[in-house]
Amino acid sequence: MALLLCVLTHAPELLASLPVAGIDGTLSRRFKGSLAEGRARMKTGTLRNVVALAGYVLDSQDRMWVVAATLNHDTAPAKGHAVLDSIVEWVASQRQ
């Protein structure tokens, strides 16, 4: 997934189709008040005992990062969103 996102970095149609963190779609209630709000465009995914996020995050220097993460565990539905969100927030906070 990450390799595909890297290849498609310059595909404006894909970027425009992804929900914006804290603003719309499946991310409208996530990342509110965080550094990632308005700076991440990502697709969410959920299956039984699986949660995932994949897409693009701008860091504090406006560099675009590709993030793709999947958690597969019995506790993923209850605890996984917080783990994935913290990864995205960490990327958004990067300065160098």
Confidence of residue 13 (pLDDT cuts 50, 70, 90): confident
For residues 12 and 41, is the Cβ–Cβ distance under 8 A? no
Confidence of residue 11 (pLDDT cuts 50, 70, 90): confident
Three-state SS at 22: coil
The mean pLDDT of 9-23, rounded to a whole number, is 88
The per-residue pLDDT for range 18-69, each reduced to its tens digit, is 999 999 999 999 999 999 999 999 999 999 999 999 999 999 999 999 999 9
What are the residues whose beta carbons fall under 8 Å from the beta carbon of 42, sequence distance 6 or more? 18, 19, 21, 27, 53, 54, 55, 56, 57, 67, 88
The model carries a pTM of 0.88
